Amino acid sequence: MSQITYYRNDTVGIKITLRDKATLLPIDLTNKTLTFTVDPSETPDDNANNLMQLTGVVQGTPSDGVVVFTPAGTDSDFTPGNYYYDIQMENTSDGLERQTVVKDLFVHKQDITK
């Protein structure tokens, strides 16, 4: 995965194809809940400073690994700067399996049009 650049107050979905790190094949998202979180710290101790947290919606066939995270309203209304994001995948069929599948830089920019 790579860094994401996103503009303040935008509400367009962040579309990502999740891939297995070893095989590069799409991750099957059947029975998975995906959470996208942005934080100022690369290694936060807790969620107290999370700037944005979104639940993903799988697009198309789950085995294609495509998920969209869509901010609503003011979700992305925070100070522009460089932050960190991760995507956590949880198995909803047993609730026991949880894995961070992506972690990288989130560049938050100021838009011009208000």
Structural domains of the chain, with CATH: 4-109 (2.60.40.10)
Q: Report whether pLDDT(114) > 80.
A: no
- Give the pLDDT band of residue 73 (cuts 50, 70, 90): confident
Q: How would residue 41 be classed by pLDDT, with cut points 50, 70 and 90? A: very high
What pLDDT, on a 0 to 100 scale, did the predictor assign at position 113? 85
Record the pTM. Answer: 0.93
Please give the average per-residue pLDDT across 11-37, as a whole number: 95
What's the per-residue H, E or C state across the chain?
Answer: CCCEEEECCCCCCEEEECECCCCCCECCCCCEEEEEEEECCCCCCCCCCCCEEEECEECCCHHHCEEEECCCCCCCCCCCEEEEEEEEEEECCCCCCEEEEEEEEEEEECCCCC
pLDDT for res 2: 87
- Whether 96 has a pLDDT exceeding 80, the answer reads no
* pLDDT at res. 1: 60
